[in-house]
Amino acid sequence: MNEKSGKKMNNAGFSLVEVLVAVIILALVAGPILMAFVMSARFNARARESQRISVVAESVMEEFKGLSIKQARQGAAGYSLRSDNPASYEFVRNIEIDDNRYDVKVTATPLRDKEAVNLNGADTSKDKVIKTTEINPYYDYVFTQNLYQDKTVYDQILNNVFTYLDESHNFTSVYPGKTASDLDKNRITVNRVVSLEVYGDDSAQHVKVSYTYTYSVNNYPITGRPNASKSDFAPIVIDDSNEIRIKDYKDLRSVYLFYSPGYKSEPAKKVARINNDTVSVTNYISGRNIEAYVVKQTNPLYENLVTCDNEYNPSVWSSGDVNLHRNVTNWDSFEGFSSYTTADESLMYTVRVEVFENGAAGLNFPADRFLYVLDGTINSKESHD
């Protein structure tokens, strides 16, 4: 007993039961917190890895835009030739980034312009393209469309229409298991406008290419519900903010627009069924005459190009001081083009960049080592010696 207070002090402390309860509560609280830290660390690590892989692919794509295929075949920038088949070149390179190594496979496939038509019909031995030596980057603007662009946009359109049908007409409750790819493409109308614009003044000229896709769903039948129609979907615009290039010039003379056609034929529905295709070239600079070359590219994504080409008849027009040359239908010719040559000289290539784990090249690039893919198109000098 304390003599001053006359009270007994309790020095017993915490009991074993109290300590155990405290430990259990701490474990229950700390466990999820620690797990959250662990999961966050793993997520951040995966995010950093994904970013590294995409940076590798994008850097390779940009590197190929600065190389000719001929230079790559000769080992420029550290690329090794895996396949020397002119129908589809393959290159291999090992790349290090942030102390991590990756094996990269690059496939470059020549992209031909529409084949020439002579008096005897299609002459596939003379698959003519514009000579790269005739195009001067100081005076001429060259645009080449990414061949996968239309399919990517078309898939987005199908998803948007599917979402509308489901939200406004309960599509999935009537047709369970159906997806956007199952929609009736005949009920969906897609219009595309490809626009090349020249603007500025006589001291500085600028060129911009943009794609505008408008679409609607027309009287779509859904069992037990009123037919669905909608024409005010927001347009999808691909412009300079989406990899379409704006170029500046001091003495612009010619523009070359190589584009992938928007087919409306039945075989096109597996890729991108575009009902109306319009291509325009506009020169807003008064007094500066521009030579404009509009050339349809053959898109290998389509299976039946004969049917598609026979029915393809786009609207192609120009305004301002433009001397327009077009080669977009089977009835056009290369007359009026400054120069062309045969298939040995290809200006455009589709390029696929595939990123694999380090060591995959030695194992012939097995699928379980695959990490990332990036597709694009490039301009290149002639491929052969």
- pLDDT (tens digit, 9 = 90+) per residue, 367-377? 899 999 888 77
Apex 93 CA angle, 76 and 362, nearest 5: 140
Mean pLDDT for all residues in the chain: 82
Q: What is the pLDDT of residue 120?
A: 38
Element (H, E) at 152: helix 149-169
CA dihedral 176, 178, 179, 184 (to 10 degrees): -140
Q: How many CA atoms lie within 13 A of 107 on its CB side?
A: 9
Listed by start position, the domains of the chain span 117-345
Element (H, E) at 375: strand 370-379
pTM of the prediction?
0.62
> Side chain identity at 244, as an amino acid letter?
I
Q: What is the pLDDT of residue 127?
A: 46
Q: What is the pLDDT along the chain (385 residues), one digit of tens a residue?
A: 444 555 555 555 667 777 787 778 877 777 777 776 766 766 666 778 888 898 999 899 888 877 888 888 888 889 999 988 877 889 999 999 888 999 999 998 876 544 433 333 444 434 455 555 567 778 888 888 888 899 999 999 999 999 999 999 999 999 999 999 999 999 999 999 999 999 999 899 999 999 999 999 999 999 999 999 999 999 999 985 444 455 678 999 999 898 999 999 988 988 999 999 999 999 999 999 999 989 888 787 887 778 888 889 999 999 999 999 888 887 776 665 555 544 444 456 788 999 999 999 999 999 899 999 888 777 665 544 4
Q: How many residues does the chain have?
A: 385
Q: What is the pLDDT of residue 95?
A: 93
Can you say whether the dihedral through the CA atoms of 107, 108, 114, 119 is positive or negative?
negative
Q: What is the pLDDT of residue 118?
A: 38
Distance between alpha carbon 219 and the CA centroid of its chain, in Å? 31
Cβ burial 203-217 (10 Å sphere, 16+ → b, else e): eebbbbbbbebbbbb
Strand ranges for 23-147 from DSSP E: 80-83, 89-97, 100-111, 117-118, 121-122, 129-130, 140-144
Q: What is the pLDDT of residue 13?
A: 64
Percent helix, strand, coil in the chain, to 5, is 30, 35, 35
